[in-house]
Structure 1
Amino acid sequence: MKPSADVTIRFAEAGDVDEIHRGLLTLATHVGDVRKIKSTPADLLAHGFGDDRAFECLLAESGGEIAGMCLFFRSFSTWFGRPGLYVQDLVVDDAHRGRGIGEKLMRRAAAIAKSRGWIYIRLAVDHENHTAMAFYERLGFIHRYDDLIYGLYGEAFDALAREEGETR
């Protein structure tokens, strides 16, 4: 396996949306949940590269191809009173695993956060992705047993939003 010295990290551009979407599909395949991917390259273009960007994405390149990506966005901790970075997706292409690319992406994301005055990184890991858990722990992340992530999606989200609208 080639060392990671030939890897460059750059910010994704609008023309990279197909590669970003491919990375999401790769990650979903790895965790066995491709059916959960509802986004399209058009969604990524609209929400990641317009005036009101919902996310940023770093791409790792090696040998003229995309080797990995780290998709993140700004977060805010009311407890710390400071912003931080939330990593939504980190993926390294299977052909490039074992070369330190994931670590390079995370180190660059941390450096970006620090340069912006942000003070932490948070992320969630699929509960069965033990490889990812070990990777993040090796980087110094800790599993916060006092935090549980809840989500509201689809019809339940629509119902809650509708209830608010009906009370006005």
Structure 2
Amino acid sequence: MAGHNHPLIRPATIDDAETIHAAILGIAEAVGELHKVRSTPDDIRRFGFGPTPAFEALIAEVEGIFAGLCLFFPSFSTWQGRPGVYVQDLFVAKDFRGLGVGEKLLKRLAAVTRERGGHYIRLSVDTGNHSAQAFYQRLGLRLSDAEQIYAAYREDFNALADAGDDEG
């Protein structure tokens, strides 16, 4: 297909919620974590396209066929004193892998971020996903040896929030 070399990159709309969710499921399946996905397309619609969107996404299409997704949200580095973006999800559909779709999505995101005054892209990658790590390094993203990601989810998060309610 000639269009493989020239995907159309466009901002996602609320009409893409099902496609975005399917891509998230594709990522989870690829890393053997499908059982951990709790989100729904309605969550994507509600939190991505409501009055205060929690994220944005870029969609790649080749000849009208979904080829990839880059889901991101604003970030700010207090040490750099500059805004940027955090990439939550990058996904390329199986039929389009190896054709530069992921690279084009990240390059477009970098351009959009710079147009908005941003200065960096951050993301995390599964420790066992060596092909993704090599891909990011090839594009100039570097592994930070100064940081580790910590997270509180579900019960741990609720325990923190409950304790914070007591402090109010």
Please tell me the TM-score bracket, short chain as reference: over 0.9
Q: 1:36 to 1:135 in 2, by over 3 A?
A: same
Q: Cα distance, 1:22 vs. partner?
A: 0.3
Equivalent-residue separation in structure 2 for 1:158 and 1:146 (angstroms): 28
Task: Note if contact 1:12-1:58 (Cα within 8 Å) is conserved in structure 2.
Answer: yes
Q: Cα distance, 1:4 vs. partner?
A: 3.3
Task: Note if contact 2:4-2:96 (Cα within 8 Å) is conserved in structure 1.
Answer: no
Residue segments in structure 2 that go unaligned for 5+ positions in a row: none
TM normalised by structure 1 equals: 0.97
Equivalent-residue separation in structure 2 for 1:167 and 1:91 (angstroms): 41
Residue segments in structure 1 that go unaligned for 5+ positions in a row: none
1:140 corresponds in structure 2 to 140
1:46 corresponds in structure 2 to 46
Q: Secondary structure at the match of 2:75?
A: strand
TM normalised by structure 2 equals: 0.97
For residues 96-119 of structure 1, what are the alpha-carbon distances to aligned partners after superposition, in whole Å with 9 as ceiling and x for unaligned?
Answer: 101100000000000000000100
Equivalent-residue separation in structure 2 for 1:4 and 1:86 (angstroms): 27
1:106 corresponds in structure 2 to 106
Task: Note if contact 1:6-1:63 (Cα within 8 Å) is conserved in structure 2.
Answer: no
Alignment of 1:87-106 (within 5 A): 87-106=87-106
Task: Note if contact 2:3-2:63 (Cα within 8 Å) is conserved in structure 1.
Answer: no
Q: Secondary structure at the match of 1:87?
A: strand
Q: Cα distance, 1:2 vs. partner?
A: 5.3
Task: Note if contact 1:4-1:99 (Cα within 8 Å) is conserved in structure 2.
Answer: yes
Q: Secondary structure at the match of 2:76?
A: strand
For residues 66-105 of structure 1, what are the alpha-carbon distances to aligned partners after superposition, in whole Å with 9 as ceiling and x for unaligned?
Answer: 1100000000000011110110000000111011000000
Alignment of 1:1-168 (within 5 A): 4-168=4-168
Equivalent-residue separation in structure 1 for 2:94 and 2:2 (angstroms): 13
Percent identity reads 49
Equivalent-residue separation in structure 1 for 2:122 and 2:147 (angstroms): 11
Amino acid at match of 1:116: R
Equivalent-residue separation in structure 2 for 1:37 and 1:62 (angstroms): 27
For residues 39-76 of structure 1, what are the alpha-carbon distances to aligned partners after superposition, in whole Å with 9 as ceiling and x for unaligned?
Answer: 10000001111110100000000132111000000000
Q: Secondary structure at the match of 2:68?
A: strand
Q: Secondary structure at the match of 2:42?
A: helix
Aligned-CA RMSD value: 1.1
Equivalent-residue separation in structure 2 for 1:7 and 1:148 (angstroms): 34
Q: Cα distance, 1:3 vs. partner?
A: 6.2
Question: Number of residues paired by the alignment?
Answer: 168
